[in-house]
A and B are shown apart, each in its own frame.
Chain A
Amino acid sequence: MDEGATPKAEKASNAGLRKGWTQIGTVVGNTSTDKFTFILRSLQAKLGDIVATRVEVPVGSHGAKDVATVWGRIVSIDRFNPFFPAEAAQELADQNIRLLDTVLSGSRDHLEAEVLILGTTFGDDPGAAQLSPLTYPVKPSAEVLYPPADAVRQLLTGDDDRRKPTPSKLLIGSLIARDDVSVFLSAKQVVSRHLAILAMTGGGKTVAARRIIRELIEIGYPLVIFDPHGDYLGFFEKRALFPKTKIRIFYPMIRVRSNNVGIIADLIDKMGRRLSDAQQQFYSWLLSTTPPDDGEAATTFIQRMINKAESAAKKKRPARRLTTISQTFVGRR
């Protein structure tokens, strides 16, 4: 920590930090500890990018200060050209002439980006410390920098890569705007704590969970998946991709007794296929002619019913209808 940091010291510190960091803009307007706005140089960054700036913040006792690196994410970019009046656009359209053929200017776009501040680090090494909240607003006119992939990666992974042995990490993807920055979760944190994945419908909860599970499989964690909707059957179907891991699939055992024989009809209902009146009549006949053995497995009982139905069909009914019924039972088993 640098008590009473001098401008010279700050300059030196900036120079060290900026090695390989590109200046992409300048902070403008009102700033706060939550967000700031900057004028972005053309095509130098995009929505979702992680950017950084430097600010002197008060620390510790009265008067002491230190230079912090402020990290943020671009959450919006507005583009406007103050030198291109709207009425000129109308005239160009009306007269069917190109802007380039006139004296109008089309090159002075202004890009104004809003940045949500994520936190700050101290010192030249972004991964050296935990990201802590910003306690003093960013300075208007400050340079905004585009950190190289290594710096962002180091910021996101902290000290993980320095420990020996390197802790297990789960690769879950890359930053939205920077595919050169991979994002990991700490495997230990995931398995030793609770984890909730929250998002709206279609937000990618299942995909994220699959990704985490895949990574956990890769590093050999034992897993039990309760999968009422069959979202994760793919792991079983493509188990050849995970030769080091044995993947097994378990179903619940349902037993049929004379007092709960209605469970078969409930299962058909839950599978979303209502029997037609004629099928219901045939089903009732099957039930009455195929009494369950007490405690018999539902699958065995259903198979017996199917056999019974098929033999009956051979005698009386066309084969097509029986196929439908047997598919109803067997195909969804």
Chain B
Amino acid sequence: MSIRERALVDADWVESHLDDDRVVLVEVDEDTAAYDKNHIRGAVRLDWKKDLQDPVRRDFVDRARFEALLSERGIANDDTVVLYGGNNNWFAAYAYWYFTLYGHADVRLLDGGRKKWELDSRELVPDVVERPATTYTAKEQDRTIRAFRDEVEAAIGQKNLVDVRSPDEYSGRLLAPAHLPQEQSQRPGHIPTAANVPWSQAANDDGTFKTDDQLAELYAGKGVDLSKDTIAYCRIGERSAHTWFVLHELLGQPNVKNYDGSWTEWGSLVGVPIALGDQP
């Protein structure tokens, strides 16, 4: 099985495993009301904000809360977890990275997510899904895939920094994606020396990932030397989780980290360097 086949499943694979008790479908959306309207049969929901963020500090839920969450949703350690969601799998990829951070053994992403499923007119149902509770055990966070601000500052000019936001956000013309009100960080721009490789260039219009050859060519063409360590960032770490998935899980690059503090942290820090404009 190739790296890609282990990490990514298509809609036909999901349809053929809808009645497999050991395969748990999990929908993760930015628009958390989407699941209430309908979802793939048997899928449970994770709310990226309520379930996955600490309610007080800006950080993830700790190991004990993650264990309690997955136990309550009926996810077992030996289950195959298949994540999917809206927004071209942004938050599903974020959850994939999060599950990997806490050491879940078999986690996969549905290629194209909810959008591709809807555009194919596949079945979605409004049914309430209840799975019997489990006793889930998580591992300590795998910090080899998560970057913090000090490491990012030390990486300027040393490691690959990949800014996966849109060119307008990278240059400083916008502070946030254009479908959201403009708010968040104090200052616009990007981290000096970061290459701008928008997450969207790794995906087709229907949300599926491009081929491995196309992806390798994309990063090489932007001057990202994949023999070096890489840190990806965006605004809040969800789009960069999508790029982390591409580099680490599809292209099999070791030493790729997601900086989930991302621009909302960097653009509000006192004293750190910021570059404006279209050049690194």
Bind each other: no
A-to-B contact residues, CB < 8 Å: none
